[in-house]
Structure 1
């Protein structure tokens, strides 16, 4: 009889490996499904988008596709926190796992490039900023074989220069209701109960007794004396200043006064320069960006979109006449997304009369907002 060999363990190991892979794939699919649900919730309720985006970023690499979908949204209340989380992901990858930074960053840059048709003007500014950020992190990590990432960033730059198909949505006017809304157990919203202090019944008013005073004799009536006749007194008219009068003499109106000199009279003849190139009273950072390169002015438009500045409209109107078409395109789009109809009308007029065809195409979208 031939000796029987023991069964091989390879089929069992293969089955075990397939089972582990299926479990991991199911786990990844479930996390992506959860991430998509969180991103949808942020889109439906932009007022709570920051909390939803923070929750989305905690899911790790599984949430990157949903995070990129939120970052290219035309709603800035959703897009701004998502873009900040994407940049934070790059910082975390460069610090925690520098060896795998290039592969992860390459997938991220390609994901933004694939979503180029959905990029608004502010999204295109952010895409260029993201490419610069990725190259800085790549140089800091001193990774080798970075040719693919540089090519992906250059492709992203080229796509960001294309005219946008969508513009940023106007910012919502947030109104704070005077009545606080509390969540009832049944799920319906009802006004929160106000605090009521106990009201005590009013005390009866008691008239205070008048203080006693000693009696005085009645005063005697005062007889009115006959009025003396008033004689007019002639006041001497001063012919000049008094000897001890320290006041300056009043100038004679008949004398010809010296005509008021205008600033142009005291200015040397010559060509008039650029008067008030930058609006007065601006912070140093804003002034430096206004006087910097076109990339600096694009970054300034992004800051005005995401932050608050008392002279934001004035600065955007100035940037809407910038010699660089990219700056004009971004500034006019920012003006058109304002809730002020006058700024939207101004943006429409600037876009219609712009000589660059990429900028003039915005007039169609702005005309829809004016309707």
Structure 2
């Protein structure tokens, strides 16, 4: 395994260095060939690096910057005033060859905008898409895209998402001819918006894709499809609904310190845990932390978007996802796959 360098925007997200730095150190412990370039405020970061072992410190390059780009005044303003920010510098490190991939928990729209400008989409790609793995009840996973990068999508764009998603699933899950479905409000041919119906007709003509038709929201976790395609508006709502439901179930089963479960509730929790383990294989597989890190698919380099609210385990997963994509040469495989179509 060769040396791999990732650029991390450690100031992005809701919690900044107190989450991103411990996750980074954990990633270095687990991956001896990993090196990290950390972009952020050195005064805020240094306390977390004060007493770490030498074998970890020598694989860290800390680049000080005291600016953090946000999207509070609109995307165009944020992009114009992003120079010198931790997010932009991390992306520029990839562009300039100092790193092979980037991870950030910053604003999605700004990250997408900067990545498109600085790294460029792959040849022929209309719009890069946010893609992530989602769990299924049979213990496997599916991929879903777009998850919020593109609110409005033409039929042609949805077809391109299907092509990229299929290549991603083939490499991620070692599949041949993965099943592709369009997220819709019904399975009948006449259901849904015109762009979805038009995309369905185009996908039926794609002999290189295993298109199986529409999928409804209540089947997202049942393993019906390996690749689930949608526009960013529907995808973002669907993903956050799934994540919120999972987190609420975990909170219900754990109880809270302020309100410890009653005897009856404890009994119901035991029954609930047994049922979830029996029918969902393992309860922990639905933990959203294990699926943090949506990838900007269709760019010339690897960029992974971590949830802003990610905890240490979730940010660690985003780093691991970026490392896997770089080592698997996902951008190049997507380019080769699209050239064959």
Task: Give the TM-score, by structure 2 length.
Answer: 0.29
Task: Give the TM-score, by structure 1 length.
Answer: 0.27
* Structure ranking higher in helix proportion: 1
Please say which structure displays the higher CA radius of gyration: 1
* Structure ranking higher in strand proportion: 2
Which one has more relative contact order, counting CA pairs under 8 Å at least 6 apart? 2
